[in-house]
Amino acid sequence: MLKPKVNRMGDRLRVFAIVALLGFMAGVIAQVTAEYVIPWLMLVLPALINIKWVVSGFAGAVLTLAMVTVWAYVTGNRNR
């Protein structure tokens, strides 16, 4: 049986589009976090989370881990 020719440009465009979509979603999540979640946490836990850069750093770390996890899953080995 003949294998179809791999469309490398199409694969690259698909990965590019997925990365762009993940970046857009990260921006939306960051905006919602900055506008609603961080002020709510500052009210609920003022003594523990009184420094905004700590909360921003934690949110950035979580967001980055989520994006890398999705990227690794999407671009993983297809032969499994």
15 in Cβ contact with 75 (< 8 Å): yes
Any domain includes 42: yes
Any domain includes 15: no
Any domain includes 1: no
Any domain includes 45: yes
Any domain includes 17: no
Domain total for the chain? 1
**What's residue 49's pLDDT?**
54
**What is the pTM (predicted TM-score) of this model?**
0.48
> Which residues span the domain enclosing 51?
22-74
Any domain includes 11: no
**What's residue 48's pLDDT?**
59
Any domain includes 2: no
Please give the residue that has the higher pLDDT: either 80 or 13.
13
Any domain includes 62: yes
**What's residue 4's pLDDT?**
56
What residues have CB less than 8 Å from 75, skipping those under 6 apart?
15
